Amino acid sequence: MKMTVNINLGGYAFNLDDDAYERLRRYMKRLEQEFSGEPGVREIMSDIEGRISELFRMRLSSYKQVITMKDVEEVMSILGSPEDISGGEPSGEVPPRSQRRMYRDPDRRIFGGVCAGISAYLDWDPLIMRIIFTVLIFAGGFGLGLYLILWIVLPEARTTAQKLEMRGDPVTIENIKDSVREEFNTVKEKMNL
């Protein structure tokens, strides 16, 4: 018989075996130490928690309600270790390519981000998608209806992990850190102008 610990991770409650909880706690503490000097450390840690939460939810079912040590180890192998990021000994594992998901892109939007999101998903220039929708609008109005439906149906990519998924990049700790650093530098440059 094992004890379980209830935790809140990324806005979701999880039951973890006590050894899995301890392993996850040490992992998160090492990540916090690794990113302590980074600008935007809170956003980085929040995005990492959200990604871990998403990976945990994928491992649960109506028959399996407790996160085990094996689940924690699998999630850690997907995200990578803090040593990999800091230039330590690499684990040798290549993170799996993330499956692309379609979102609205709030960073490159003009109206709702639909064209920019579809373009990121298809790896196209957003201008091409905007031209296609404009042609569809003038060719009978079909484009406007389609655009409005997609605006309602497609979720907006709010977190760094969602933005990485939209582009098809692996959602690893290093990619999350690099994306947050890019966003931080972009905001910093805009503030200096």
* Per-residue pLDDT tens over the stretch 64-78: 899 999 999 998 888
Q: Are 111 and 91 in contact (CB under 8 A)?
A: no
Inform me whether the pLDDT recorded for 128 exceeds 80. yes
- Residues 44, 12, 118, 175: is their CA dihedral positive or negative? positive
Instruction: Look at residue 86 in the predicted model and tell me its pLDDT.
Output: 52
Kindly give, in sequence order, each residue whose CB lies less than 8 Å from that of residue 92, ignoring residues fewer than 6 positions away: none
Is the confidence at residue 96, as pLDDT, over 60?
Answer: no
Q: Which of 3-12, 23-32, 91-100 has the lowest mean pLDDT?
A: 91-100
Q: Which two tokens stand for residue 88?
A: 């330590």
- Higher-pLDDT residue of 165 and 84 is 165
